[in-house]
Chain A
């Protein structure tokens, strides 16, 4: 059974750094792209970026390029999303999701979400 288990909720102050995680199991972690999706409070889904854990190739939405870093540690089947300096506007739910194939880049399995709250 494919599972994506995300790290727990975080409460941070503006300017702090943060790295959240997403551990995949039940499939070949290095053979499928995995991505991150933001959902701000009461708003829609936003496509952030994806990584291919096999070779760490990444793709970012222009809206998030330079704002976050996506990485993966294939030895522990875990993908990461990190910020070097958080802003209040980073407050959101963040989902990781596995990609079905590298043709349509459809998200077929999703993690449970990690709530990030940034407040002074």
Chain B
């Protein structure tokens, strides 16, 4: 089964740039989606198809995907961005979805 690997935690100072990675075998050939989950809340889609932003998601959120790593980039980080972030792909070889283990973003 396809495995997605995320760092457990990332810390960043307010106003700086946070980069959260999602590793997988040849992940660049797949479409990667990113979700933000704040404590006690349902997840929210923030990036889909590697780099598209749903309406209502700030331009500070962007994504890229190449080779064996996909990256969620959050520019000018704010305290309100503190949350858990999950990457997700569809594994077409086995016909099911997969989530990464999640990354806790801490704003210092």
Q: Do A and B bind each other?
A: yes
Least CB distance from A14 to B in Å reads 27
Least CB distance from B7 to A in Å reads 13
Interface of A is mostly: strand
Instruction: Report chain A residues within 8 Å CB of B33.
Output: 104, 106-107
Instruction: Report chain A residues within 8 Å CB of B61.
Output: none
Instruction: Report chain B residues within 8 Å CB of A37.
Output: 43, 99
Q: Is the CB of A44 within 8 A of B86?
A: yes
Least CB distance from B61 to A in Å reads 15
Q: Is the CB of A107 within 8 A of B45?
A: yes
Q: Is residue B98 contacting chain A, with contact meaning CB distance below 8 A? A: yes
Q: A49 CA to B96 CA in the complex, in Å?
A: 7
Q: Is the CB of A110 within 8 A of B88?
A: no
Q: A60 CA to B94 CA in the complex, in Å?
A: 10
Q: Is the CB of B94 within 8 A of A62?
A: yes
Which partner residue on chain B sits nearest A107 by CB separation?
B45
Q: CB-CB contacts of A95-118 with B at 8 A, as 1s and 0s?
A: 101001001111110111100000
Q: Is the CB of A47 within 8 A of B96?
A: yes
